[in-house]
Amino acid sequence: MNTTPTTTTTAPPTPRPGSAPAGPGTARTPAAASGEGRIGLRGNLRHIGALARRNALQIKADPESMFDVLLMPIIFTLLFVYVFGGSVGASLGGSRDDYVNYVVPGLMAMIGMNVAMAVGTGVNDDFRKGVMDRFRTMPIARSSVLIAKIVVEIGRMLVAIAILLGMGFLLGMEIKTSVLHLFAAVGLSAVFGASLMWIFILLGLTMKTAQAVQGVAMIVLMPLQFGSSIFAPTSTMPGWLQTFTDVNPLSNLADAARALVNGGPVAHSAWITLAWAAGITLVTAPLAVAKFRKKS
- How high is the mean pLDDT of the chain? 81
Sign for the pseudo-dihedral over CA of 214, 216, 219, 222: negative
pLDDT of 241-286, one tens digit each? 889 998 899 999 999 999 999 988 999 999 999 999 999 999 999 9
Residue ranges per domain, the chain? 41-294
Residue percentage of the chain with pLDDT more than 90 = 34
- Residue 39: its pLDDT value, please? 67
- DSSP annotation of 137 reads T
- Stretch 223-249: mean pLDDT, rounded? 88
> Which of 242, 252, 246, 258 minimizes the C-alpha distance to 275?
252
Is residue 165 very low, low, confident or very high in pLDDT (cuts 50, 70, 90)? very high
Rounded-to-integer distance, Cα 225 and Cα 149, Å: 24
Rounded-to-integer distance, Cα 250 and Cα 252, Å: 5
- Torsion on CA atoms 204, 109, 83, 67, rounded to nearest 10: -50
Rounded-to-integer distance, Cα 200 and Cα 205, Å: 8
Taking a C-beta distance cutoff of 8 angstroms, is the pair 36, 126 a contact? Answer: no
Is residue 296 very low, low, confident or very high in pLDDT (cuts 50, 70, 90)? low
pLDDT of 179-220, one tens digit each? 999 999 999 999 999 999 999 999 988 888 888 888 888 888
Residues 6 or more apart from 105 whose CB is under 8 A from it?
185, 254, 257, 258, 260, 261, 262
pLDDT of 49-71, one tens digit each? 878 888 788 788 877 778 888 89
Rank 148-152, 234-238, 249-253 by mean pLDDT and report only the highest. Answer: 249-253
